[in-house]
Structure 1
């Protein structure tokens, strides 16, 4: 049989196997079919191994899942077409995605982003006047996206959590009326920005933004933008001012003027609280970062207290020195009439008080008599001494014209009276009821106290006689 096959093949040119009967034909058909199936199986597996994990496989799987989703939810043809077109466009531009750079160090990614986007961002009107460091932080958070003509990027009255910069292409901003009519507001060309009003002012999107021609957009998330704005306070205020200036011709946006002014005021207040918090907790490094970012060391909180008040009260010498070097007002008075020096003196921080005095600080007590009388009544001798040593008049009076010596004599506090007299308290001063400290002492009946007051009276009369003779 082999010889017959061979001779036949040589004569007819059909190869090594040639069927000459039905049984051989059936065998050859089964063999060839098996060979084709095996070959297809092997080629298919080799192809699958080749594309496994590739962007083609991911795109195919994503498209399969998307088709299942659309079928399950019975989406109409227009939406199906738009979804497929957008997904295909994103697939064709996969290498512009930020995910390509995931394995690259942040420092190098920063340089790449700066090289790609910094010139574009510098031309955006919203960022005019902002520092280079701020702009570098912005470009690091940008992601590219491509959109086809007819796609709606942002819808009117929707909540927005992204801001877009136009890199290439053209879009239109339209206002949609209640009856469905459209009014063209503006054409968005390269270097334009949209979504910023809704994000910065925390309001619904004022207009619908629609693509007119194939465009490339640079997107930054709201959370990322807000995080950067919190670090760069000066640039944050500059952006809000730019937002207000850039919308002067738009009557609808002009109504946001009060909202933007409120945001600026709110930022000032929150910044003052953060600076005061850093000073109160002794966090010098955080305080330096805040001041470096544009925080005002003289800004006060709702109680009129600045960072220097809190640092002085805590005795943080380094922070007090740092604030003085950066222009803090050493004689700032809070809503309670207290100065930073008084806070340091009251808490017994002598070295901190000395730093303030060297810079020209004074106690500036609006009601010194009340503070001295309170110290006497509380038998707070240390505070009393510190106040007197820092120049508070021992003859300061309260609302009844009573001096601290009146209270000391009335309570029989001969040690306190002695301290007051050494600092120049007048034993003959009269209150509203024409009573002197000596009268109060005699009424109290304390012999040591009366003796001290009598001696002080004699010394006072002797001084008056010397003055009269002179």
Structure 2
């Protein structure tokens, strides 16, 4: 089955062959979703088996299965990414339609970033998407890219103005995501763009690193300016965590780096008392 663009330009209509549709391809999806003429028509040169679904039936399926609908809409955006003449024209119309069904099209970049689709991320940014939009957990695309080692996505997001110091609902910043998951090149890139480990949460990061039992993460946190004696929300220091976990290696490392054994948590306990 072949499909072609039919373009009306200055009253003259001309046809441009686009390509061949193969098994599994979709035709007419833009017209069905946006309720407007599809700029592509299909002609079959041989007997073809086509599954046809009208707009009402499709939208009813989406409305009743929002999780599956989210996947369908993401796949549509990814599909449109291959049609440069269409991909900047229809996404906002589709997003508006899907928002009525409680489905987030990838306008906030998060799903596209999670999929590691750099081309789609770049296309959405070029079309004017806010690089600092967040998902349901308050995570930006920069959080997701940093945690998953997607350096290309990190670079393009920063280029389009992504804020490297936005906190998600748990107080995590992109730099912590990169450090925790050992993506050193990304951590350095974020630092060069003004990222920091906020003093309000550095105690939480230190304690999480101690819980993970990672000297490497602790070394990076100290290298990037965290106070070794900073406290978590319950007043614990990384040394409290290491001693409570009976992690001798982490305990020794922290003491050698200057961790105090007389710091009190909210229960009036010190690492020294925990060790007795």
TM-score range, shorter chain: 0.5 to 0.7
Partner of 1:326: 160
Partner of 2:148: 314
Name the structure, 1 or 2, with higher relative contact order (CA <8 Å, separation 6+).
2
Question: Which runs of no fewer than 5 residues in structure 1 stay unpaired?
Answer: 1-102, 119-136, 143-159, 162-197, 203-226, 241-259, 444-470
Poorly superposed stretches of 4+, deviation over 6 Å: 227-230
Q: CA deviation at 1:300?
A: 1.3
Q: CA deviation at 1:365?
A: 6.8
Tell me which structure has the larger Cα radius of gyration.
1
Give the whole-Å Cα distance in 1 for the aligned partners of 2:99 and 2:121: 25
Aligned-residue Cα RMSD (Å) equals: 3.9
Partner of 1:87: none
Give the whole-Å Cα distance in 2 for the aligned partners of 1:421 and 1:340: 28
C-alpha change, 1:286 and 1:421, in structure 2 (3 Å) is: same
Scaled by the length of structure 2, the TM-score of the pair is 0.63
Q: Which stretch shifts more, 306-315 or 359-368?
A: 359-368
Across the two proteins, how many residue pairs are aligned to each other?
Answer: 217
> 1:395-439 deviations in whole A, cap 9, x for unaligned?
122344232223333454343223223443223323345443333
Partner of 2:88: 232
Larger relative helix fraction: 1
Partner of 1:404: 238
C-alpha change, 1:302 and 1:380, in structure 2 (3 Å) is: same
Give the whole-Å Cα distance in 2 for the aligned partners of 1:278 and 1:314: 13
Partner of 2:254: 420
Q: CA deviation at 1:388?
A: 2.5
> 1:161-182 deviations in whole A, cap 9, x for unaligned?
7xxxxxxxxxxxxxxxxxxxxx
The secondary structure found in structure 1 opposite 2:196 is coil
Partner of 1:344: 178
Partner of 1:272: 107
Scaled by the length of structure 1, the TM-score of the pair is 0.39
| 8 Å CA contact 2:210, 2:238 repeated in 1 | yes
Partner of 1:251: none
| 8 Å CA contact 1:233, 1:294 repeated in 2 | no
Q: Is residue 364 from structure 1 mapped to residue 259 from structure 2 by the alignment? A: no
Question: Which runs of no fewer than 5 residues in structure 2 stay unpaired?
Answer: 14-35, 42-53, 61-79
Give the whole-Å Cα distance in 2 for the aligned partners of 1:282 and 1:348: 18
